[in-house]
A and B are shown apart, each in its own frame.
Chain A
Amino acid sequence: MVDTRLKRTPLYECHLEAKARIVPFAGYEMPVQYAGVIEEHRAVRTAVGLFDVSHMGEIEVTGRRALDFVQYVTCNDAAKLTVGRAHYSGLMTPRGTFVDDLLVHKMADDRYFLVVNAANKDKDYAYLCAQCVGFDGVDVTDRSDEYAQIAVQGPKALPTLQKLTPVRLDEIKYYRFVEGPVDGVAAIIARTGYTGEDGFEVYVAAGEAARLWRALLVAGGEFGVVPAGLGARDTLRFEASMPLYGNDIDDTTTPFEAGLGWIVKLDKGVFLGRDALLRQQADGVRRALVGFEMTGRGIARHGYPIWAGGSEVGAVTSGTHAPTLGKPLGMGYVPVERSAVGSVFEVEIREQKVAARVVGMPFYRRAR
């Protein structure tokens, strides 16, 4: 029988103590909010927030041919990574669409650490295992249950985390990481995030997570740290126009369609989906993911139809009232000829067509 019980992260008790509202998400009981989505969102934009993202999957690829294998299954060029660097990439189908989007960390010449979406981790692991046949000596190991991940995000993330580690955090550049102690326990400290703010993603052994979470709340107290839930994580990533798998990208969309052509390195050699992506690059995409603002009254939501010229031409993939920007915004796929900034179309909201206009992405970019 399939076990359909929801799993809990090592921080579940901390969430209950903080009076979180718990919801099922990707097979886990996760905190969707504590004090409120907007309050948490603002805290991350102006101070610092802590996210339990222990539901994310961690998959290790090891072996002499680990690089060859990572190169084969992902679209970005992992040969460009040196030890201590990470990049954003796509796990590709042979059709050039996303099995998942992921972060690839180079731990050593023969060891890569992949961080994948919670909802996809079992699928990804099975896919990687199936694809690694033929890569002699490559091992794929699901380490998800061994690791907890805490994201410390916001302009005060650095001083908060710095109080708990001797590692010089200001020397870790964006998309680099170091292995070092945090609050006395071994951790991977990566300067990455999913909020559009500066911050770190900290990976520790599952058993150490609750103590670290509490230590971070104390350390960040002087900066106004708050625990932040999945609700704020979604509004933050949305404002920063970072795609969400299952909403904005999936196994029917390619990186080119999603505006993620910068993660596709067609000249790196053979990889899954390369032929399809070469063809799409030559032919041009037919649809594109755009950002839009509502010029009529209403909020676009995932799945709402997009109309133009009397026909349904696309669909909304994400949409909400953006807390920092104070207006309803959305993302969706439209025919490429309607994707230029300034193009207008209508979003069908509860059987009414409401005007919208394409705007540039990201919607929000932090001042540096």
Chain B
Amino acid sequence: MAQPNDRLYTKTHEWVLLAGGEATAGITQYAQEQLGDVVFVELPAPGKKVEKGAALGNIESVKAVSEVFAPVAGDVSATNGELESHPELVNQDPYGKGWLVRLKVAPGVADGLMDAAAYEKFLAEEGAH
């Protein structure tokens, strides 16, 4: 399936959408498919500083727990509180209502991330469909 063109992607299957000094992050369609039914999402407290690639939180499916990594460095400004009672939003709408965190970011934080086309190519090379 096509990935949204308005955002950037990591090799660990997170996305980040930049708007001004703020970044919204979540996991990709491919990631949610691999996880299966999400039943619990653990996110950092607002105010926490995260480095690019550092553990951002954990997503638990019925089967297992998986770490989510920060696609960019920044300060956590908000988390998606809806996920506390509706973790399944990560499955149902990974690019929308299933977002995980908002970060305050500095300019240039997204350098080196993949655009939608590059991420598609990456998925194809990884053997994912």
Contacts and interface: CB of A to CB of B under 8 A. Distances in A.
A299 B58 CA distance: 11
Interface of A: 32-33, 36-38, 41, 231, 234-235, 297-299, 301, 320-321, 323, 328, 350
A299 B36 contact: no
A41 B39 CA distance: 14
B40 interface: yes
Interface in B1-56: 36-37, 39-40, 42
Chain B contact patch, size range = 10 to 19
Nearest to A38: B37
B128 interface: no
5 contacts: A41-B62, A298-B42, A301-B64, A321-B39, A328-B39
A41 B37 CA distance: 11
B65 A301 contact: yes
Contacts of B37: 36-38, 323
Give chain A's interface secondary structure class.
mixed
A320 to B, nearest CB: 5
Interface of B: 36-37, 39-40, 42, 58, 60-65
B40 A299 contact: yes
A298 B36 contact: no
Contacts of B60: 299, 321
Contacts of B65: 299, 301
B37, B42, B58, B61 — most chain A CB neighbours (10 Å): B37
Contacts of B64: 301
Give chain B's interface secondary structure class.
strand
B80 to A, nearest CB: 15
A277 B58 CA distance: 42
A235 B62 contact: yes
A320 B36 CA distance: 13
Contacts of B39: 299, 320-321, 328
B60, B63, B64 — most chain A CB neighbours (10 Å): B63
A321 B42 contact: no
B62 A38 contact: yes
B42, B60, B62 — most chain A CB neighbours (10 Å): B62
Contacts of A234: 63
A41, A235, A320 — most chain B CB neighbours (10 Å): A320
Contact of B40 (A32, A33, A41, A298): A298
Contacts of B40: 297-299, 321, 328
Given A231-B63, A321-B60, 17 more contacts: A33-B36, A37-B61, A37-B62, A41-B62, A231-B36, A234-B63, A298-B42, A299-B39, A299-B40, A299-B60, A301-B64, A320-B62, A321-B39, A321-B40, A321-B62, A323-B37, A350-B42
A350 B58 contact: yes
